[in-house]
Structure 1
Amino acid sequence: MSSTDPKAENVKRTAISAAMDWGKNPLPPTLLATLVTALHARPFQPLPMLFPPVLLFSTYLNLSSYPVDSAGVTAAWSGLYLLLASRRKVAGASFGRRLGSTFGARGFTRGAAMALAGVNVMGCGITYAFGKRETGKDADGKVV
């Protein structure tokens, strides 16, 4: 047995702490912005291309020591993208064409973007709801 505290070794991560770690990580909004850009830059679709700059700004907020606020922005915009992406249908396509669009490279990318957006909504939403903002206070107790 090691000299470290045995209670610290037996601590299990809860689902809430894993979601909080996900929400405080700057990588998920960057990955979602990358996938959205890959899907909608060519041919250019103006509405979905509003999402990558906001998601990258969320990453900037996270790296600027505002992880809870960044999680809120990421959760909101990931949810909006999930709603937008779930409305898409292949109109007038035969079964074979729909099957090819579902299991092709573009379909897998769309599925990955939608899955990542869903995980972002959950993880970042939990972080925003239960996260604590650290306020800077000086020695007198005044908020800086």
Structure 2
Amino acid sequence: MIAAQHMKPFQFFPMLFPPALLFTSYANLQGFKTDTAGLSAAWSGLYLLLAARRRQPFMKKFGVRGVVRGATMSLALVNMIGGGLAYTLGKREEEEE
């Protein structure tokens, strides 16, 4: 959803987030579940912080772009909270042995 928002017109800094989040998905599939939860939470929180800085007029919040932006920010919030909890409460396999 981040790429859909910032691809046209192309915006460089927001487009740094999709590759980082894709890398966390790849690392999660490789078995680094606790570490990638924290990394994903950090990147999602950073995107949420930067996206919240940009103010949007009230009437534009209910258009297609506004709904997509709201959905993206809410998913980033859920990912930040869930990933933060998984990182905080998760156990690494090396520590269990």
TM normalised by structure 2 equals 0.93
Structure 1 unaligned runs (5+)? 1-34
Alignment partner of 2:85 out of 123, 126, 143: 126
Structure 2 residue aligned with 1:58: 24
Q: Tell me, what secondary structure is at the counterpart of 1:65?
A: coil
Count how many residue pairs are aligned between Structure 1 and Structure 2.
Answer: 97
**Among 42, 67, 71, which residue is 1:112 paired with?**
71
| Paired AA for residue 19 in structure 2 | P
Residue identity opposite 1:82 in structure 2: L
Rounded to whole Å, the distance in 1 between the matches of 2:94 and 2:7 is 40
**Does 2:7 correspond to 1:41?**
yes
- One-letter code of the match for 1:131? G
Which residue matches 1:76? 42
The yes-or-no answer on 1:89 pairing with 2:55 is yes
| Aligned residue identity for 1:104 | G
CA distance in 1, matches of 2:7, 2:94: 40
Q: Percent identity?
A: 54
Distance 2:65 2:35 in 1: 32
* TM-fit CA distance, 1:118: 0.5
Instruction: State the distance in 2 between where 1:108 and 1:82 align.
Output: 15
Task: Provide the C-alpha distance between the structure 2 equivalents of 1:55 and 1:76, rounded to a whole number of angstroms.
Answer: 10
Could you state the TM-score of these two structures normalised by the residue count of structure 1? 0.64
Moved over 3 A (4+): none
CA-based RMSD: 1.8
SS of corresponding position for 1:55: helix
Q: Measure, in 1, the Cα distance between the counterparts of 2:35 and 2:95.
A: 16
Larger Rg: 1
Residue-by-residue CA offset, 1:73-122 (whole Å, 9 max, x unaligned): 100000000001101124xx6xxxx41x2111111110001000101111
Unaligned ranges ≥5, structure 2: none
